[in-house]
Amino acid sequence: QNNFGLVIHGGAGTILKKNLTPELEAQYKETLEKAARKGYEILQNGGTSLDAVEQTIHILENSPLFNAGKGAVFANNEKNELDASIMEGKTLNAGAVAGVTNLKNPISAARKVMENSAHVLLAREGAEEFAASQGLEVVNPDYFFTEKRYQSLLHAKQNLSDDSKSAYVDPYINDYKFG
Amino acid sequence: TVGCVALDKDGNLAAGTSTGGMTNKKWNRIGDSPIIGAGTYANNKTCAVSGTGHGEYFIRANVAYDISALMEYKNLSLQEAAKEVIQNKLKNMGGDGGIIAIDAKGNLVAEFNTAGMYRATVDENGTITVGIYKE
Reported confidence tier of residue B45, pLDDT bands at 50, 70, 90: very high
Q: Collect all residues of chain B within an 8 Å Cβ-Cβ radius of residue A49.
A: 6-8, 12-14, 48
Bigger pLDDT: A178 vs A90 = A90
Tell which residue, B73, B124, B130, B65, has the closest CA to residue B99: B65
Bigger pLDDT: A27 vs A163 = A27
pLDDT in the model for residue A2: 83
Residue ranges of E strands in B2-127: 2-7, 13-19, 40-42, 47-53, 97-103, 108-112, 116-122
Q: CB within 8 A of B74, min separation 6: which ones?
A: B81
Average pLDDT, integer, range A48-70: 98
Average pLDDT, integer, range B20-46: 96
Chain A CB within 8 Å of residue B89 CB: no
Average pLDDT of every residue of chain A:
91
Report which DSSP code applies to A136.
Answer: P
Q: Inspect the interface and report whether the beta carbons of B112 and A12 lie closer than 8 Å.
A: yes
Interface A-B, measured as beta-carbon pairs within 8 A, has a size of 358
Q: How far is B127 from chain A (nearest CA, A)?
A: 9
How far apart are the C-alpha atoms of A170 and A105, rounded to whole Å?
28
- Res A19 pLDDT > 50: yes
Q: How far is B97 from chain A (nearest CA, A)?
A: 6
Other Cβ atoms closer than 10 A to A75 = 25
How far apart are the C-alpha atoms of B45 and A29, rounded to whole Å?
32
- Res A30 pLDDT > 80: yes
pLDDT in the model for residue A162: 56
Average pLDDT, integer, range A98-119: 98
Q: How far is B81 from chain A (nearest CA, A)?
A: 17
Q: Inspect the interface and report whether the beta carbons of A29 and B132 lie closer than 8 Å.
A: yes
